[in-house]
Structure 1
């Protein structure tokens, strides 16, 4: 059950990480969403997702 919750949080963080105009904004949005939903681990996942999404969209 815990892994399912983490998977859902990672998906939500990835979705919200696309908000913003540059890498820093996307990482911050992902980290904030992850922090609210998953605590420190969620914040790290969200920030990482924001950076990945930013690099992908910039190409």
Structure 2
């Protein structure tokens, strides 16, 4: 019963957090996506190389969010 309660709590918290992402602008969406990809990649590299997966995830997430936000093309005019 404890496993079900824990799983249901995690699912509820995750759904609540994702609900806050419904009306993001382009730059915020890119930062969020870049952070998620960076965190996953940093954690994987940290774990594979024998380092800390937690620190790798934190550093990768911060770097990915920064790159995602800085490379957003919001406000720039596109040439066709």
TM-score (norm 2): 0.43
Q: What's the RMSD between the two structures over aligned residues?
A: 1.2
Gaps of 5+ in 1: 1-20
Question: Which structure has the larger Rg?
Answer: 2
TM-score (norm 1): 0.58
Gaps of 5+ in 2: 1-24, 43-56
Instruction: Detail structure 1 runs of 4+ shifted over 4 Å in the superposition.
Output: none
* CA deviation string 1:17-55 (max 9, x = no partner): xxxx6011100000000000101100000000011111x
Aligned residues: 37
